[in-house]
Structure 1
Amino acid sequence: MKRTAFAKAAVSSLILATTMVGCAGSAFRPSAAAPQHRQDRDSLAAATEKALASRDGAKAVKAAEAAVSADPRNAAYRQLLGRAYVASGRFASAETALTDAMTLGNHDARTIVSLALVKAALGKNEAARELLSANADVVPAGDYGLAMAMAGDAEEGVRILSEAIHDPSATAQTRQNLAYAYALAGRWKDARMMAGFDLEPLAANQRISQWAQSAAPVYTAQRIALFMGVSIDGADAGQPVALALAPRQDAVDVAASDAAAPSPEIAVASADTTDAPAVDETLPDVAAATPVPAPAFAAPKPVVRSAALAPAPKPRAAAATRPIRQAGPVSNWVVQLGAYDNAAIAKEKWFALARRNTAIAARPALTSQIKVNGATFSRLAVSGFGDRAEAVALCRSIRAQRGQCFVRENAPDATAQRWALTAKRQQLASR
């Protein structure tokens, strides 16, 4: 595909996405006034802002790297460095810098959306969506929906933006964001109709034609780069090692004390999943692995008995998991466990996961359909949470066992399933 066609599409996308750029996505546009401070590091930050305003990415990176070097644990400088890397098309470096900014406490919508789009441009769509879902209460709905669509979940973007356009604060930009989400979802008729609300018929047709040239998933990185107004630097070797975020000294002390603790294989492990190590939700790119059983009490040593005195074991029924009864109102938050080719596979996966994790078995199961690149998938999730924090807690415990999940809002077409693990009696062999 020719770059000129991409450029035309990018201009349209940038126009319709001014809600994102102006509100949450202003990481790609510097503030009007540079900070005026006496400290050298703040002067460097001001120089970075000035370079960004002049679209001089290389100069911005040089100044921002110096500012971070002078004050490594300053979240604002780390976020500024991420912006400078984005301006230079260095997405791998930008991902590191923006992640470091969030680790240091910067959780504003600008940083979240910037990092999500960078991850999507690097081919980490699932990680981008998980990041957005984990911060859905921070990112404005219009920005969240468009970012979700650009990160590969166009149907979710359509769902969010379809609700956002009915808000009294909705503007023509919100409607055009929805039109673009429709286009990314392959719903061209809906995209044309929505674009026509604010554009003349000829202009709407031209915009749809431009979007069609860059809507294919293979163009995701180029589409996002042009949306940001930059060119991808394929030679980006990553952020300099000297700028790596070092752990705090108190964290180092804790790690040292943990190293002196007894081995988990020797110590008695707690069965309470709330003691499982928390997973940093700003780093949701979890490697796929076979789920590990939840920690349990150390097994007692076997007692050796005489065969003549040993009583025959009585058949015992396996304990069926009791469903959790939510005391208060149930929220709209769910924990998605996966997306599969069809509902039958989703059901099979639920039983496999539920047998390994009683917390999953105790929650109501939901399935919903989603279309991605023309293919339909069956999403599997569990619900019944009082609020988002409760859903996040379960997802953390699943990830702590090397499982995969992320928190999102429930789909309107979700179907509740009446699946349950039944108690099976053990059969004794005939003698």
Structure 2
Amino acid sequence: MKRVVAEGRLSPTLLLLCGLALGGCAQSLDKQPYSGEPRVERLLRMGTDAASGGDPMTAGALYQQAVQIEPNNAEALRGLGATMQRLDKPREAGEAFAAVLRMNPDDLEAGVGYAKAMIAIGRPEAAAVHLEPLVEMYGDDARVLNLAGVIQDLQARHDEAAQLYRRGLAVAPDDLNLRNNLGLSLALAGRHEAALSMLEPLTRGPTSNVRTRQNLALAYGLAGDYGAAERVALLDLDESAVANNLAYYAALREMEPSRARSAALRPDIASASSATNDKGADLILGLTLAGDSLSLGMPPVGSWFVDLGGFATAEHADARWTKLRREAGPALHGHTRLGTAADSKTSLIIGPFLDKTDAGRFCTDLDIDPCDPTRL
């Protein structure tokens, strides 16, 4: 399959964002005594220091200045892409990584970064184009195998995803994200006993956290064991949130296996979900990135979505979704398609949104009919 990346320069939005931030950065760089170190190398070193110190905005500005001086500097472009991902700017990240891939299609870091950016904007098929060759070239890289598995899960190819996760576990048997993702993939495919066997141990000992516990609750819910799902969910959530979760699990169980449930996975690449143990915490369990890892989960329940009506077949709904993504573009950023129940029609449901007002605003902006806010 031919790998294609967008042509053109970095977007004006990214240039403006970094240019504004550069005011202080450029001044501080100019004030430093000259050490004989080439200017671009100094910018890269300072950008790396800023990124390591938890300041991605400054890091991005420094990397951008390096790119302005040397537009084909792969190290600067990779650094810029990574910081844009940390700033939750996947489109800008994708542009930076794409620039590297135009020079070297086999660049591992750029290929992984570009794939993550494509996932974040709801284009797993574009991510797959660049990950498939990397899987062949770097078949012992657990990070690549994990990401490739996530892409397969997002496209409801759970058998293929499970194979990739298992290949990764053969290399890194203790990798938490691989174990988590394999468990959820098995749950989505309806292999409940295998899923629970994989996820239950993760909720004991040092691997136990909000994500592993709530993913186990999800697996119990998909298996129809709502009592166990409730017990696990109550470890982190209040009773109202747990009630919402249980209703959501029940809705997922009524959906067509694999396809609809996979569509409920929510990309959220920028940062890891909250890991607080506070009761009633606002948990966002989705596709999250922590460093170089990627893990699966489900979107928050009780969220608002919009229902774009019923279609005679899944193919008609798919065609409408493809057309909408092409026409709406940025309006869909942060939203994804939810699956449908196995009834006489195929609904097209998109979300999640912050509240009913946010969902209504989306319908107004799209100016399409039907477009009805609904809460799941």
Tell me the TM-score range normalised by the shorter chain.
0.3 to 0.5
Relative to its length, the structure with more helix (as a share) is 2
TM-score, length of structure 2 as denominator length: 0.47
TM-score, length of structure 1 as denominator length: 0.42
Larger Rg: 1
Structure with more relative contact order (C-alpha pairs < 8 Å, separation 6 or more):
1
